[in-house]
Amino acid sequence: MVQRKSANIPVYIILAIAVLLISLPLYMSLIVAFKTPLENMQSFFAFPNSLYLGNFRTILSRQGYFRSLFNSFFITSLSLLGMVLLWPAAAYAIARKMGENRIYKYLYFFILLGIFIPFQVRMVPLVRLANSLGLANVNGIIVLYIAGSVAEAIFLYVAYIHTIPPDLEEAARIDGATTLHTYVRIMLPLMKPIIATVLIKDALWIWNDFMLALLMLNRSINYWTLTLFQYNFRFQFSSDPTLIMTSFVLAMIPVMVVYLFAQKHIIGGLMSGGIKA
C-alpha cells in the first residue's frame, strides 16, 4: 500500500505541471481583464489592485458582443438541429439497404470520399458557389455547416448501425409499423450514444470555427460570430491589451459555463462513440 502511494508521486508531478501550464494563460487573461490599462503597464503579471470592471463595461456596451453571442448560439443550435434531423435517418437508410441494393452501397462510398477531400481544395470555389446561391449570411452558413458535417456523420453512424442487429426492426415491420415509425421509435433511441459523440464534435467545430466564418460572414457586423468578433475587435483595439484580453475572456465564458456543468458528459460522450468507430 505504501509502495503504491510513492509510485504515484511522479504521476502527480506530471499532472501538476500540466494543470499549471493549462491554467496559466487562462489565469493571465483573467487578471489582465480586471486591470486598468495603467495597472497593466506597470506589471503584466501582478494581481489587479481592485476588481476593475471598466473593460467589461466597454465591451458589453458595444452592441457587437451580444449580437455575435446570439449569432454563434443561433448558428450552432440550428446546425445541430438540422444534423440530428437529417443524418441519422440518411445513415439508417444507407446502412440497412447497402446489402440489398447496390446503389446505396455506391452512395455510401461516394459520400465517404468527402472525408478525404480536404477543405482547402474546395474552399475557393465553395465561397464562389455559396455567394451565388445567396448563402453568405447567417442562415446560409447554417446550411453550409450541415452540409459540411454529412460525410463524417454518415461514416460514424453507419458503422454504429451495423453493430445493431435488425431483428427488432423486422419484428416491428411484421407488426405493421411504418418505416418512419420504426426509425423514430426503435432506431433513434438505440443510436443515442453515437449521436451524442457526433453532435459534441460538431458543436465544438461550429462554435469555434474561424475559417468558414471568416470566408462567409466577415462582410457585415450583423453577421459576426463570437470568433469573428474577437478577431475584428483585436484589430480595432490593438493598442489596449486589457480590452483585448477582456474580449477573449468574454468569448470564453459561455463555453466555460457549459463545460463546467457538462464536462463529464462531453468527455464520456466523446469516449463512448469514439471507440466503436
Partner 1 sequence: MKMKRKKINLEREVTFICFIVPAVLLYVMYFIVPMVTGVFYSLTDWTGLSPNANFIGLENYRNLFTDRAFRQSLFFNTWYALLLVIIVLCLSTMLALCVNAKIKGRTFFRGMLFFPAVLSMLTIGMIFGEIYTRAIPTAARVLNIEFFQISVLSRMSTAPFGILFVHVWQGLAIPTVLVLAGLQTIPEEIIESAELDGAGKWKRFTHITIPFLLPVLSVVLILTLRAGMTMFDYAMVMTEGGPAGATRSLTMNIYNLGFQQLRFGYAIAQATMVSIILIGISFLQITITQKRKVY
For partner 1, the binding residues in 192-251 under the rule CB under 8 A are: 204, 207-211, 215, 226-227, 230-231, 234, 241, 244-245, 248, 251
Burial pattern 19-58, b for ≥16 Cβ within 10 A else e, equals eeeeeeeeeebbbbbbbeeebbeeeeeeebeeebeebbee
For partner 1, which residue of 78, 138, 142, 154 counts as binding (CB under 8 A)? 154
Using DSSP's 3-state secondary structure scheme, residue 195 falls into helix
Q: How buried is residue 266: exposed, middle or buried, by Cβ count under 10 Å (0-12/13-18/19+)? A: middle
Separation of alpha carbons 200 and 270, rounded Å: 7
Separation of alpha carbons 190 and 188, rounded Å: 5
Comparison of 56 and 92: residue with beta carbon closer to partner 1: 92
Separation of alpha carbons 135 and 216, rounded Å: 8
Q: Does 35 bind partner 1 (CB under 8 A)?
A: no
Region from 48-56, 57-65, 149-157, 159-167 binding partner 1, contact rule CB under 8 A: 149-157
Which 87-116 positions form the footprint of partner 1 (CB under 8 A)?
Answer: 87, 89-90, 92-94, 96-97, 104, 107, 110-111, 113-114, 116
For partner 1, which residue of 2, 134, 180, 239 counts as binding (CB under 8 A)? 180
Q: How buried is residue 215: exposed, middle or buried, by Cβ count under 10 Å (0-12/13-18/19+)? A: middle
C-alpha cell at 137: 449570411
Which 51-80 positions form the footprint of partner 1 (CB under 8 A)?
Answer: none
Q: Does 3 bind partner 1 (CB under 8 A)?
A: no
CA 221 to chain centre: 22
As measured in angstroms, the least distance from the Cβ of 221 to partner 1 is 17
Which 160-179 positions form the footprint of partner 1 (CB under 8 A)?
Answer: 173, 178-179
For partner 1, which residue of 57, 102, 122, 162 counts as binding (CB under 8 A)? 122
For partner 1, which residue of 44, 66, 70, 106 counts as binding (CB under 8 A)? 44
Q: Does 123 bind partner 1 (CB under 8 A)?
A: yes
